[in-house]
Amino acid sequence: MLRSSQLQHGHASKHLAYPHAVGRQACAGLRHVPARPEVAVRSSVDPDELHEAKLGPNVVAGIREVKEKLTWSPATVIRNEAINLDGTHRLLHLSVSDEVDMLYGRKIQAVPDTARWIESFTVPGQFVGVRPTTQDETNGLADNQHLYTIACSPYESRRDSAYIGGSIIEVVIDKRNGGDQSTLADMAPGATVEVSQVVGRGFASLFNSYSGLPSSLEEQRNILAIAVGLRGIAAIRAVLNWAPVQAHATSHRVSCVYVTKSPSSAAFLAEWDQWREAGINFHPLYTESMLKSSSEDGEAPAANGSSSSSGSDAVVTAADIMGLLDQGLFLHEHGIESVLGGRASDATVLLAGLGGDIASAVAKELTFKGVAWERLLFCDYF
């Protein structure tokens, strides 16, 4: 049996990509069918090389690689700003050191010999490790607390990094989580941290390694993004600010449902109207309404066990969040198709910040409504 990681990295493509090869073998007893040259050329390419070309030269895309092959580069804090009303959510602007070796010779002058750090950031939904320079760790990650979604789009990073000797990225920190996040949230401009190379494949299917956000845009599909908590909106922000998605929104339905605790804790309030002006249907859902209804019924709200994925906003149960999503997605007069802007089978759904139980429940409900499994794209599981 093939492991899910093998399916994600394309190891199963030799068995699944060309089913017509089976038909050729079945007809071998009747007549000889020579292999087509173009098929032979395609099958000779290592699937891992295809994914490496898509993701960039220095991406680590699996859990094992995160633990064994992670490398760190020095970075400088450029700006630290609040992104919600109570100031607990911080947006760190980081400049990652980007030293590139140059080749010089009789016929070549200043040709890059190594890739820039920014070249590995190719699609929204990728992560980086960030840690204070005072830590003693030399390689790998102790746990997932050091992984942060890159909250800006690849286009924005390349634009800001074009004429400087560093790669500019943005990450979101919740200072209420304590530990390293509290330390990072208090850092002033000029402070130094360490940043890993890019981690993950961005928004991709768990069932089809070639199904992702770029392919959905190429196939002209309507897009629905579901973000839960701070971690979720950080990843979805990179999607909504990505130039190809904003261009897509001018002719196709692009919607976003953001589940957060309250208006005071909601992140990126100033950008909501910008997204709406770009043609994106943005709808916030507040879990404090669920807390109020629970208190009126005399029930104490239970903590959500997926707080590591959803951030500190996950203060209600998975059932409560599912109830909130039911109100925002499935209980419309014309069903979820009114949210998707068309048939569910033709749409792509992006999910970010959902813990395991909530992600499973939402995925099952979406597929029951007609969304194809391979069109459910995650960035949290790679």
Position 118, amino acid = I
Split into its structural domains, the chain has a count of 3
The answer on pLDDT for 234 being more than 80 is yes
Of 72-81, 161-170, 242-251, minimum mean pLDDT range: 161-170
Are residue 368 and residue 256 in the same domain, yes or no? yes
Mean pLDDT of all residues belonging to the chain: 77
Reported as a pLDDT band with limits 50, 70 and 90, residue 124 is very high
User: Does residue 74 sit in the same domain as residue 110?
Assistant: yes
Looking at the fold, whether 179 and 231 belong to one and the same domain comes out as no
Q: Is residue 57 a part of any domain in this protein?
A: no
Domain assignment present for 50: no
28 domain residue, yes or no: yes
Show the DSSP H helices in the chain as ranges.
4-8, 13-16, 20-26, 37-43, 47-55, 63-68, 154-161, 179-185, 213-218, 229-240, 243-248, 269-277, 288-296, 307-310, 318-325, 336-340, 356-368
CA distances from 218 to 112, 162, 202, 373 (A): 31, 27, 16, 18
With the CA atoms of 339, 340, 341 and 344 taken in that order, what torsion angle do they form, in degrees rounded to the nearest 10? -130
State whether 224 and 265 are in the same domain. Answer: yes
The mean pLDDT of 86-106, rounded to a whole number, is 81
Report whether pLDDT(108) > 70. Answer: no
What's the rounded Cα separation, in Å, for the pair 299 and 378? Answer: 33
Name which of 19-23, 89-93, 242-246, 350-354 the model is least confident about: 19-23
* 187 and 232 inside one domain: no
Query: Lowest-confidence range among 188-202, 314-328, 356-370?
Result: 314-328
Nearest to 148, CA basis, from 29, 261, 234: 234
CATH number at residue 239: 3.40.50.80
Other beta carbons within 10 angstroms of residue 138's beta carbon come to: 8
Q: What pLDDT band is residue 326 in, cutting at 50, 70 and 90?
A: confident
Clarify whether residues 275 and 324 are in a common domain: yes
**Same domain assignment for residues 92 and 39:** no
Q: Please check whether residues 90 and 147 belong to one and the same domain.
A: yes
Domain that holds residue 29: 4-45
- The Cα 133–Cα 109 span in angstroms is 36
129 lies in the same domain as 92: yes
Give percent above pLDDT 70 in the chain: 67
CATH number at residue 190: 2.40.30.10
* CA angle, 101 then 135 then 70, to 5°: 45
pLDDT, tens only, 237-292: 999 999 999 999 999 999 999 999 889 889 999 999 999 999 999 999 998 876 55
Same domain, 35 and 162: no
User: What's the CA gap between 238 and 189, in Å, rounded?
Assistant: 23
Model pLDDT, residue 142? 58
Helix then strand then coil, % of the chain, to nearest 5: 40, 20, 40
Is 70 exceeded by the pLDDT of residue 309?
no
Question: For 178-215, how does the pLDDT look when each residue is reduced to its tens digit (9 = 90+)?
Answer: 888 999 999 999 999 999 989 888 999 988 878 899 99
The verdict on 98 and 229 lying in the same domain is: no
As a whole number of angstroms, the distance between CA 232 and CA 196 comes to 21
Q: How confident is the model at residue 331 (pLDDT cuts 50, 70, 90)?
A: confident
- pTM, 2 dp: 0.76
CA-only gyration radius of the chain, Å: 22
Domain final residue pick, 196, 224, 251: 196
In which band, very low, low, confident or very high, does the pLDDT at 163 lie, cut at 50, 70 and 90?
confident
Domain boundary among 196, 215, 234: 196
Last residue of a domain, one of 171, 196, 221: 196
59 in a structural domain: no
Same domain, 221 and 192: no
| Pairing outcome for strands 254-260 and 111-112 | unpaired
Q: Which of the four pLDDT bands, split at 50, 70 and 90, describes residue 6?
A: very low
Report if residue 53 sits inside a domain. no
Give yes or no for residue 368 having a pLDDT over 50: yes
Residue 342 lies in a domain: yes
Query: Residue 5: what residue type?
Result: S
Q: How many CA atoms, within 13 angstroms, populate the side-chain half-sphere of residue 42? A: 9
